[in-house]
């Protein structure tokens, strides 16, 4: 990327009003971006723990809570990267395990994402910098999944910050560039500890860089210079001096090589730290065990497992048949999510890209890079996804926000310039366009994130979302478990049965553990003691204060153990019918009955009945 070229592009087209009147504030965008960031954090933190955990959230959070207790962890591709495991284990230890604490890191990352706009302010107008922060703060998809314990927003944020620091390193020059570079490497490495599709970011960046190089070939082709004109002037001058025998020009490349090697070392140090197995009290190599013993051989085994063992696990899981599905249905779902949560942003991105490309002296490298990266993500993720899930769109929204910011700021400047010229028509048109964008974004954000965060009709909700209406009951169940002495929860039926509950201390789980979600997460967070049975007679006489069984399974093809089998033994217990999912399959997937000892329930407990 060329800093001077970008500056020329950004000041050549629509600069007339950037330094006048109210826009003087935009010449110092840091305070404005700071205010936008505070607003973004508030949007993400208010009511963060109110939505009942999605099945994926519950599954991963349960194992993090167990990791806090056991100190045992190893990479499992189905859970994705270890970043959340290690960071949330610290939060759980300090503040307890809850829906709020498990989502806190993601919410903070999403809330701080607008700050990344400041890293690009040498490449963008000040008004565009603020517009980028606003888009990252308010986009409905980013907002929804910033309040969801998944790695997608974390990864997108880490990679955007990484790109920003790399751009700053390129633009800064001198000794300061090394500092920006190493911070960028840290962000880039952290991205690889969050989710495996960090590899797709590297691929998209590589493809976008090739297209930017093509810009050079097309725009700098003059006289007889040909392809050579695509290289920076300093590199061509250096090559000429080297041909003349001046070896002093090698110092700069050697310095860059040394810095690059240090960056590689930094990258793998971070990756090894996060992916290294932990095996407290268990046979086999473990990071803390190796460091505590000063065992060099074990430490090398840990490094080998963290790098090559992780790669083997990843290839064995995700390089198989996960992506063997028809492309068009996945693309259709992808576009449907964009229509609901990012329509305004995508339209603005196309306009911003075209305006930047065909106005001024030359296109901005940053704007083109963001558009190519985002466009490739829109078309590429439906190809590599194993399930239809709205969270994949996060990875397209973030890069497309860059060209979208150009268009949004353009509309604002258009209106302001119209005001200066007393052109009421331009002012009204600009205001209407801004109101239209704001209304679309605001309405979608409120509906999807706050009004209907678990509704099956919400395009952003993945099908394994639990029913939120049982949230109050879950809190009471946790209180009952905390107050009780002895076994707190009994699961009844083959679907929930596990012969060895102690086998659920370390993944993978066996038996009926998966069918218990999300309840198992909430019981684990309350430190409940859990058991299970397939024999109805075990419920005769004394039993735990909480009993869980399947609900109506009359439409199933096979016989299942259900709540009606034991209902006659539940005298003195209050019956609650709940849905684990936001929908009922008509079989045994969703409907569950929870019996609770009425003497153990608080006075303000929900009345018996159906929830969800």
* pLDDT one-digit tens code per residue, 184-241: 999 999 999 999 999 999 999 999 999 988 877 766 654 455 556 566 666 666 666 6
Residue 15 has pLDDT above 60, yes or no: no
SS3 6: helix
- Chosen domain end from 401, 424, 439: 439
User: Could you tell me if 488 and 530 are in contact, meaning their C-beta atoms sit under 8 angstroms apart?
Assistant: yes
Percent of the chain with pLDDT over 70: 86
* Cα atoms found within 13 Å of the Cα of residue 604, Cβ hemisphere only: 3
Q: Which of these, 529, 468, 379, lies nearest to 54 by C-alpha position?
A: 468
**Among 214-218, 303-307, 340-344, 394-398, whose mean pLDDT is lowest?**
214-218
| Max avg pLDDT among 131-145, 268-282, 291-305, 563-577 | 131-145
Q: Are residues 29 and 127 in the same domain?
A: yes
DSSP 562: B
Q: Are residues 113 and 229 in the same domain?
A: yes
| pLDDT-derived band at 319, boundaries 50, 70, 90 | low
Q: Which pLDDT does position 358 carry in this prediction?
A: 87
Token reading at 210: 């090739």
Q: Are residues 268 and 123 in the same domain?
A: yes
Q: Does residue 516 sit within a domain?
A: yes
Residue 605 has pLDDT above 70, yes or no: yes
Q: Which pLDDT does position 197 carry in this prediction?
A: 92
More confident of the two residues 507 and 335: 335
Q: Does residue 44 sit within a domain?
A: yes
Q: Are residues 418 and 473 in the same domain?
A: no
| pLDDT-derived band at 588, boundaries 50, 70, 90 | very low
Q: Count how many domains the chain has.
A: 2
Token reading at 496: 């929930």
* Residue range 471-493, pLDDT digits in tens: 778 999 999 999 999 999 999 99
Residue 131 has pLDDT above 90, yes or no: yes
Residue 327 has pLDDT above 80, yes or no: yes
Q: Are residues 126 and 200 in the same domain?
A: yes
| pLDDT-derived band at 19, boundaries 50, 70, 90 | very low
More confident of the two residues 8 and 263: 263
Residue 533, strand partner residues: 492
Q: Element (H or E) spanning 525, and its range? A: helix 519-525
Residue 329 has pLDDT above 70, yes or no: yes
- Residues 419-430 have a mean pLDDT of 82
Helix axes 394-420, 424-445, angle to 10 degrees: 150
Q: Measuring CA to CA, how many Å separate 346 from each of 82, 164, 574?
A: 32, 21, 51
Q: Does residue 228 sit within a domain?
A: yes
Q: Are residues 154 and 24 in the same domain?
A: yes
Q: Does residue 214 sit within a domain?
A: yes
Strands 530-533 and 278-279: unpaired
Q: Does residue 294 sit within a domain?
A: no
More confident of the two residues 415 and 444: 444
Q: Are residues 432 and 495 in the same domain?
A: no
- Chosen domain end from 439, 458, 493: 439
- Residues 299-314 have a mean pLDDT of 92
User: Could you tell me if 608 and 567 are in contact, meaning their C-beta atoms sit under 8 angstroms apart?
Assistant: no
| pLDDT-derived band at 245, boundaries 50, 70, 90 | low
Q: Which pLDDT does position 222 carry in this prediction?
A: 47
What average pLDDT is seen over the chain? Answer: 87
Residue 347 has pLDDT above 60, yes or no: yes
More confident of the two residues 560 and 141: 141
Q: Report how far residue 25's alpha carbon sits from residue 29's, in angstroms, rounded to the nearest whole number.
A: 7
Q: Are residues 506 and 429 in the same domain?
A: no
More confident of the two residues 582 and 350: 350
User: Could you tell me if 364 and 353 are in contact, meaning their C-beta atoms sit under 8 angstroms apart?
Assistant: no
Q: Does residue 558 sit within a domain?
A: yes
* Residue range 51-97, pLDDT digits in tens: 999 999 999 999 999 999 999 999 998 889 999 999 999 999 999 99
Q: Does residue 424 sit within a domain?
A: yes
End-to-end Cα separation, the chain, in angstroms: 53
* Ramachandran quadrant class, 528 (left: phi over 0; alpha: psi -120 to 50; beta: rest): beta
- Chosen domain end from 419, 439, 459: 439
* Residue range 548-578, pLDDT digits in tens: 998 876 555 556 788 888 999 999 999 998 8
Q: Which pLDDT does position 81 carry in this prediction?
A: 92
Residue 277 has pLDDT above 90, yes or no: yes
Residues in the chain: 612
Sequence-distant contacts of 534-537: CB under 8 A, at least 24 apart: 534/492, 534/493, 534/494, 534/497, 534/561, 536/492, 536/561, 536/565, 536/566, 536/569
| pLDDT-derived band at 12, boundaries 50, 70, 90 | very low
Q: Report how far residue 512's alpha carbon sits from residue 534's, in angstroms, rounded to the nearest whole number.
A: 11
Q: Are residues 331 and 420 in the same domain?
A: yes
Residue 23 has pLDDT above 80, yes or no: no
Q: Phi and psi dihedrals of 129, rounded to 5? A: -60, -45
User: Could you tell me if 514 and 580 are in contact, meaning their C-beta atoms sit under 8 angstroms apart?
Assistant: no
Q: Does residue 498 sit within a domain?
A: yes
Q: Which pLDDT does position 606 carry in this prediction?
A: 78
Q: Which pLDDT does position 338 carry in this prediction?
A: 96
* Residue range 143-169, pLDDT digits in tens: 999 999 999 999 999 999 999 999 999
User: Could you tell me if 54 and 466 are in contact, meaning their C-beta atoms sit under 8 angstroms apart?
Assistant: yes
Q: Are residues 426 and 527 in the same domain?
A: no
Helix axes 365-384, 343-358, angle to 10 degrees: 140
| pLDDT-derived band at 281, boundaries 50, 70, 90 | confident
Helix axes 99-112, 29-45, angle to 10 degrees: 160
Q: Which pLDDT does position 225 carry in this prediction?
A: 55
User: Could you tell me if 594 and 547 are in contact, meaning their C-beta atoms sit under 8 angstroms apart?
Assistant: yes
Q: Which pLDDT does position 351 carry in this prediction?
A: 96
Q: Are residues 491 and 431 in the same domain?
A: no
DSSP states along 372-391: HHHHHHHHHHHHH-SS--GG
Q: Are residues 233 and 173 in the same domain?
A: yes
- Residues 458-465 have a mean pLDDT of 86
CB atoms < 10 A from the CB of 289, how many? Answer: 20
| pLDDT-derived band at 359, boundaries 50, 70, 90 | confident
- Residues 500-519 have a mean pLDDT of 87
Q: Which domain holds residue 178?
A: 3-8+19-49+98-275+325-439
| pLDDT-derived band at 456, boundaries 50, 70, 90 | confident
């Amino acid at each position: 990327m060329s800093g001077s070229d970008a500056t020329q592009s950004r000041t050549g087209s629509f600069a007339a009003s950037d330094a006048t009147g109210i826009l003087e504030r935009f010449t110092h965008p840091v305070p404005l971006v700071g205010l936008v960031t505070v607003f973004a954090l508030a949007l993400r933190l208010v009511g963060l723990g109110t939505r009942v955990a999605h099945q994926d959230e519950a599954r991963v959070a349960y194992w993090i809570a167990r990791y806090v207790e056991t100190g045992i962890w190893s990479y499992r591709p189905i859970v994705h990267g270890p970043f959340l495991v290690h960071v949330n284990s610290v939060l759980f230890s300090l503040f307890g395990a809850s829906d709020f604490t498990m989502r806190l890191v993601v919410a903070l990352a999403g809330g701080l994402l607008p700050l990344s706009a400041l890293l690009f302010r040498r490449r963008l107008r000040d008004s565009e910098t603020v517009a980028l922060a606003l888009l990252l703060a308010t986009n409905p998809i980013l907002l929804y999944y910033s309040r969801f314990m998944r790695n997608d927003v974390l990864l997108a944020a880490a990679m955007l910050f990484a790109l920003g620091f790399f751009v700053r390193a390129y633009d800064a020059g001198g000794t300061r560039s090394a500092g920006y570079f190493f911070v960028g490497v840290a962000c880039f490495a952290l991205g690889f500890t969050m989710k495996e599709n960090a590899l797709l970011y590297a691929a998209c960046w590589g493809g976008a860089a090739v297209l930017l190089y093509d810009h050079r070939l097309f725009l700098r082709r003059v006289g007889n210079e040909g392809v050579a004109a695509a290289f920076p002037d300093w590199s061509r001058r250096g090559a000429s001096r080297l041909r003349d025998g001046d070896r002093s020009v090698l110092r700069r490349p050697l310095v860059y090589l040394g810095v690059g090697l240090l960056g590689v070392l930094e990258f793998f140090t971070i990756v090894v730290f996060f992916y290294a197995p932990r095996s407290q009290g268990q046979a086999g190599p473990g990071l803390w065990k190796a460091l505590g013993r000063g065992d060099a051989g074990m430490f090398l085994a840990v490094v080998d497992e963290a790098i090559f063992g992780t790669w083997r696990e990843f290839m064995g899981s995700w390089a198989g048949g996960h992506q063997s599905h028809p492309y068009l249905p996945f693309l259709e779902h992808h576009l449907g999510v964009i229509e609901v949560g990012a329509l305004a942003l995508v339209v603005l991105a196309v306009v911003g890209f075209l305006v930047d490309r065909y106005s001024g002296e030359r296109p901005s490298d940053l704007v083109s890079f963001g558009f190519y990266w985002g466009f490739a993500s829109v078309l590429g993720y439906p190809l590599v996804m194993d399930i239809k899930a709205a969270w994949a769109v996060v990875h397209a929204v973030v890069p497309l926000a860059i060209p979208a910011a150009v268009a949004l700021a353009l509309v604002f400047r258009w209106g302001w310039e119209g005001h200066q010229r007393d052109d009421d028509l331009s002012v009204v048109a600009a205001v209407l366009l801004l109101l239209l964008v704001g209304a679309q974004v605001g309405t979608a954000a409120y509906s999807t994130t706050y009004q209907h965060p678990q509704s099956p009709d919400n395009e952003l909700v993945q099908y394994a979302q639990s029913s939120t209406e049982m949230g109050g009951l879950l809190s009471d169940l946790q209180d009952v478990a905390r107050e009780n002495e002895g076994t707190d929860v009994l699961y009844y039926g083959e679907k929930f049965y596990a012969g060895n509950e102690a086998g659920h201390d370390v993944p993978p789980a066996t038996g009926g553990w998966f069918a218990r979600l999300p309840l198992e997460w909430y019981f684990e967070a309350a430190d409940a003691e859990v058991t299970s049975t397939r024999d109805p007679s075990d419920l005769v006489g004394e039993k735990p204060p909480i009993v869980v069984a399947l609900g109506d399974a009359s439409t199933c093809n096979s016989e299942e153990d259900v709540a009606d089998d034991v209902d006659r033994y539940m005298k003195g217990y209050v019956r609650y019918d709940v849905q684990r999912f936001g929908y009922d399959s008509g079989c045994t997937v969703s409907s569950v009955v929870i019996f609770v000892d009425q003497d153990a329930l608080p006075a303000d407990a929900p009345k018996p009945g159906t929830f969800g």
